[in-house]
A and B are shown apart, each in its own frame.
Chain A
Amino acid sequence: MSTVDTIRGRLDALPDVGLVVGFIGAIWAVMLVLAIAVGGANWANLAAGFVGSVTVLIGGYAILALALNLQWGYTGLFNIGIAGFMAVGAYTTAILTAPTDPAAGAVPGLGLPLWVGLIGGMVMAAIVGGLAALPALRLKADYLAIVTVAFSEIIRLIVNWDGLAEVSLFGVPVGTGGATGISFKSANDVASTLINGVGQPLVTAAEGVGVSGPNLANLTYGILLLLVVAASYWVLARITDSPFGRVLKAIREDETVTQSLGKDTRLFKIKTFMIGCALMGLAGVLFRGQAGYISPQQFRPTITFYVFAALIIGGSGSNTGSIVGAATFSGLLFYLPARLGENISLGGTRAPGNIVDAVAGFASLDPAPLLAYIISNVSTLRFVLIGVVLIYIIQNQPDGLLGHRNEPATSVSLDRPQSGSGGETDE
Chain B
Amino acid sequence: MGIAEFARDGRVVVGERPGAAVVAAVGGFLLLDLVAKLAGTTVFFVGTKLLGGSLTVSSLLSMVVDGLLVGLAVGLAGIGLSMTYSILDFANFAHGDTVTVGAFLGWVAAYITAGLGTGAPIAELFMLNSGRQLSTVSTLAPVLLGLVVAGVGSIGIVLLIDRLTYRPMRDTDNISLLIASIGVALALRYLIAFVFGTETSGVASGGLRVTVFSMISVTDNEITLLVVSVLLMLGVHLLLQRTKLGKAMRAMADNEDLARVTGIPTERVIRLTWILGGGLAGIGGYLLVLESGTISFNFGWILLLLIFAAVIVGGIGSIYGAMAGGILIGLVDSLALIWLPSGLTRASAFLVLIVVLLLRPSGIFGGVSTA
Interface residues of A (CB under 8 A from B): 78, 135-136, 138-143, 145-147, 149-151, 153-154, 157-158, 160-163, 305, 308-309, 312, 354-357, 360, 377, 380-381, 383-384, 386-391, 394-395, 398
Contact = CB atoms under 8 A, between A and B. Distances in A.
A78 B123 contact: no
Given A143-B357, A157-B346, A158-B344, A388 B183 contact: yes
Interface of B: 2, 6, 11-12, 90-91, 122-123, 126-127, 165, 168-169, 172, 174-176, 178-180, 182-191, 193-198, 305, 308-309, 312, 341, 343-344, 346-347, 350-351, 353-354, 357-358, 361
25 contacts: A139-B358, A140-B6, A150-B308, A150-B309, A150-B353, A150-B354, A151-B350, A151-B354, A153-B305, A153-B350, A154-B347, A154-B351, A157-B344, A161-B343, A163-B341, A312-B179, A355-B195, A356-B126, A360-B123, A383-B193, A388-B183, A390-B179, A390-B183, A395-B169, A398-B176
Nearest to A161: B343
A380 B193 contact: yes
B123 A354 contact: yes
B179 A308 contact: yes
Contacts of B198: 380
B43 to A, nearest CB: 23
Contacts of A394: 169, 176, 179-180, 183
A254 to B, nearest CB: 14
Given A161-B344, A163-B341, A384-B190, A390 B182 contact: yes
Contact of B343 (A140, A160, A305, A391): A160
Interface of B is mostly: helix
A2 B176 CA distance: 23
A113 B127 CA distance: 51
Contacts of B169: 394-395
A305 B182 contact: yes
B173 to A, nearest CB: 9
B179 A387 contact: no
B103 to A, nearest CB: 18
Contact of B357 (A146, A355, A356): A146
Contacts of A161: 341, 343-344
B176 to A, nearest CB: 5
Given A150-B309, A357-B123, A157 B189 contact: no
B194 A138 contact: no
A384 B184 CA distance: 9
B168 A356 contact: no
Nearest to A353: B123
A143 B309 CA distance: 11
Contacts of B175: 78, 141-142
A304 to B, nearest CB: 9
Contacts of B358: 135-136, 139, 147
A245 to B, nearest CB: 21
B16 to A, nearest CB: 12
Contacts of A141: 174-175
A386 B186 contact: yes
Contacts of A309: 183
Residue of B91, B190, B196 with most partner-chain A CB within 10 A: B190
